[in-house]
Structure 1
Amino acid sequence: MAGLDQALSDYRADYTAYYERCKRDTSPKIRDANPIIYLIPGVGMLSFAKDKATARIAGEFYVNAINVMRGANGVDEYVGLPEQEAFDIEYWLLEEAKLQRMPKPKSLAGRIALVTGGAGGIGQAVARQLLQEGACVMLTDIDAEALAGARDNLVKVAGKDNVATVQANITSEEEVGGILSAAALRFGGVDLLVSNAGIASAAPLDETSLEVWKRNQDILVTGYFLVSRNAFRIMKQQKLGGSIVFVGSKNGLVASAGASAYCTAKAAEIHLARCIALEGAEHGIRVNVVNPDAVIRGSRIWDGKWKEERAASNKIDTDDVEEFYRKRSMLKKSVFPEDIAEAVYFFVSEKSGKSTGNVLNVDAGNAAAFTR
């Protein structure tokens, strides 16, 4: 918006002058001089604060204050507090003591995350991890009913302020635009993208239909492209950097017989992430990949036909699939959604602040998938 930078600079100067006029010898140091409430003609009111709850409460207080002023003017004339009295309330020493006892911000406080495939086991585990670290999370999924259930589960973890959902199909350019708009309207933008939406299919090459091939490409390649492209545009506009994580698959590194459509699409995901990492570096946008393998518990993919197909391919019963993959791993351990969430958190947090274009396998050990 034209003139916004100057208006903000003027506001900060006015606030600093107010502090200097009213401060006492015992007054706490000046607090953040940026405005919290913004009134934009033709748009409405926006509120900015350290977290969603504080921003919401500030907005509610402002609206209530306007209603008090309107009521007072309806009877006589509203008169505000004298400047010095208002300052003494704002910088009350007991209030300052309370603020000093507040816990330190969590590692992702103030960060806005978008998680695709948010209704599945991995999506929910990732969202829970990010919420526990202080982020606001926008979940999206094509399954409206499952998405509503995921939201109910996550609200119990972090409250209504920090969780939002939007049902959408990531293969639709228009709907992807709607996802990013919803995140901007609800939380103010997007800092972290976890691209996790997925499907799986298995069939011998000569039995793989063009429809199945295109469906894998549409969701696992085109969908990831559309979401990351739109998120990338917003991150560039924000000029705050950002982090993108693709939830890929061991199959993106290792070919599997009877799953050419899926393996090819997952390989394309990994290469797309590397391409975005190259372009994102100059903007402080990091892009990395987490490759799970055989995350069966809580997975909607494994609850469907994929489990039967992989059981048939490995000549085992469907009830033995999880144990089969556990024994196949080098560490002889099962991989759970929470394990993937930990890896995703590593990449979106400053713990990996100097990492981009990398791939982290979370597969309990698979020698054929060693990166090289």
Structure 2
Amino acid sequence: HFLRTKIAPLVLDPARLHDDTYLADSLADYRALYAAYYERCKRGNSPAMRDANPVVVLVPGLGRMTFATDKATARIAGEFYLNAINVMRGAEAIGDYIALDEQEAFDIEYWLLEEAKLQRMPAPRPMVGKVALVTGGAGGIGAATAARLLKDGACVMLADRDGDVVETVRAGFAKQFGKDVVRAVTCDVTDEAQVAAAFAECAREFGGLDILVANAGIASSAPIEQTTVELWDRNFDVLAQGYFLTAKHAWPLLKVMKEQGGTSVVFIGSKNAVAAAAGASAYASAKAAANHLARCLALEGAPEGIRVNVVNPDAVIKGSRIWDGDWRKERAASNKIDAGEELEAHYRNRSMLKRDVLPEDIAEAAYWLASEASAKSTGNMINVDAGNVQAFTR
């Protein structure tokens, strides 16, 4: 099991876990001890020293934590170490447990045949080791974005106010991508306690956060004289305050990742955030507020290595939970057309490219903004709308 767990765990004092200096010093001490162990035991043909950080961390009275480059490897390391504990207990029940000699343990950990196998392994996918939280994760754009991240190796926490639906989406992804890499949490982004709990759950399950995709949304359509205060507030609660709360509670997790290359926030905006929309003032105004929030956060986040960008979709009708509701009927009525294929044709034909915009199209843009490919981009907006001159940003 040394191949999975290293020769020794890091043991932490539970009374000092609140002390960041203690944690940093403990990790530094472990790395120094591991390097000294390597130097003592290495042979002339030994492979180079691998990552000196601990895999297994024990906190008396709290439990066991394991760390690795991906969730599955961390889980397996935990299972191996639990088996090792059971062997030790069994040995102590009938006599004394005697550990392997240090040199023998080293020779197992740095076995040349194992090293040869490691060298033949394919390069990791681009998102391996990354953790993402996607709000509105049960909807069309949210689920498509999660799938795109999962495809390239990310771990994803799906957050959605509809617990049953998001669990169904999670179960489907678990079958497709593996049970280790996807979790789900019920979260209404207008409820600060639920938002805070969602990020706490993400940290517990995956160890942190690298990517936030703020996507939870609603849509409404009404002339100004028919726009009630309740309708106005509902749009701002979800689309403006919801994005604010999501970013606020993601921020502490995102900040600590600066030394590991920084992090990314992607807001899913709307064409209506930059183009005026008659009969949808509440929705368009709230979306505009969220987009300007993203600009403000890009300024705040840059010194912390946090990039903040926006994807502005338009008329993502197919596969959309929002368009399956009253919004579809309202927009059809506003345009005086049928709510079925005629509505889809209307939005397709009004675009410059005369093409449908699908959830997967938005997901591809969100993925790019979340990835290292856009590492030098922040404060930007990408329109994915098949072309709309009103939405040109310059």
TM-score bucket (shorter structure): over 0.9
Contact 1:128 1:157 (8 Å CA) reproduced: no
The 5-angstrom pairing of residues 273-352 of structure 1 reads: 273-319=294-340, 320-352=342-374
CA distance in 1, matches of 2:61, 2:305: 33
The normalised TM-score by structure 1 is: 0.98
Residue matched to 2:3: none
Residue matched to 1:142: 161
CA distance in 2, matches of 1:211, 1:68: 63
The 5-angstrom pairing of residues 83-122 of structure 1 reads: 83-122=102-141
Deviation readout 1:237-288 (Å, 9 max, x if unpaired): 4444210000000010111111111000000010000000010000110000
CA distance in 1, matches of 2:334, 2:93: 78
Residue matched to 1:67: 86
Residue matched to 2:208: 189
Question: What residue identity is the alignment partner of 1:158?
Answer: F
User: Is 1:354–2:376 an aligned residue pair?
Assistant: yes
Contact 1:111 1:136 (8 Å CA) reproduced: yes
Deviates more, 1:330-339 or 1:23-32: 23-32
Contact 1:202 1:306 (8 Å CA) reproduced: yes
Q: Deviation of residue 44 (structure 1)?
A: 2.0
Q: Deviation of residue 41 (structure 1)?
A: 3.2
Size of the aligned set, in residue pairs, is: 372
Question: What residue identity is the alignment partner of 2:88?
Answer: M
Contact 2:356 2:386 (8 Å CA) reproduced: yes
1:177–1:137 CA distance, 2 compared to 1 (3 A)? same
Contact 1:132 1:157 (8 Å CA) reproduced: no
Contact 2:257 2:263 (8 Å CA) reproduced: no
Deviation readout 1:100-157 (Å, 9 max, x if unpaired): 1111111111111000000001111000000111110000000111101111221123
The normalised TM-score by structure 2 is: 0.93
1:131 is matched with which residue: 133, 141, 150?
150
Deviation readout 1:139-179 (Å, 9 max, x if unpaired): 00001111011112211231110000000111011111101
Residue matched to 2:10: none
RMSD of aligned Cα (Å) = 1.0
Residue matched to 2:241: 222
- What runs of 5+ residues in structure 2 fail to find an aligned partner? 1-16
SS in 2 for 1:107: coil
CA distance in 1, matches of 2:29, 2:308: 37
Q: Deviation of residue 296 (structure 1)?
A: 0.7
Question: What residue identity is the alignment partner of 2:369?
Answer: F
User: Is 1:252–2:240 an aligned residue pair?
Assistant: no
Contact 1:331 1:365 (8 Å CA) reproduced: yes
Residue matched to 2:391: 369
Residue matched to 2:174: 155
Question: What residue identity is the alignment partner of 2:372?
Answer: E
Point out 4+ residue stretches in structure 1 off by more than 3 angstroms.
Answer: 237-240
CA distance in 1, matches of 2:43, 2:253: 43
The 5-angstrom pairing of residues 75-86 of structure 1 reads: 75-86=94-105
SS in 1 for 2:180: helix
Q: Deviation of residue 91 (structure 1)?
A: 1.0
CA distance in 2, matches of 1:50, 1:223: 32
Residue matched to 2:9: none
User: Is 1:211–2:230 an aligned residue pair?
Assistant: yes
SS in 2 for 1:221: helix
Contact 2:298 2:378 (8 Å CA) reproduced: yes
User: Is 1:14–2:33 an aligned residue pair?
Assistant: yes
CA distance in 2, matches of 1:7, 1:333: 57
CA distance in 2, matches of 1:135, 1:82: 38
Deviates more, 1:240-249 or 1:115-124: 240-249
1:31 is matched with which residue: 50, 53, 67?
50
Residue matched to 2:13: none
Question: What residue identity is the alignment partner of 2:173?
Answer: L
- What runs of 5+ residues in structure 1 fail to find an aligned partner? none
2:287 is matched with which residue: 266, 273, 277?
266
SS in 2 for 1:318: coil
Contact 1:288 1:357 (8 Å CA) reproduced: yes
Deviates more, 1:119-128 or 1:41-50: 41-50
Contact 1:143 1:167 (8 Å CA) reproduced: yes
CA distance in 1, matches of 2:253, 2:52: 26
- Give percent identity, aligned residues only: 62
CA distance in 1, matches of 2:290, 2:352: 25
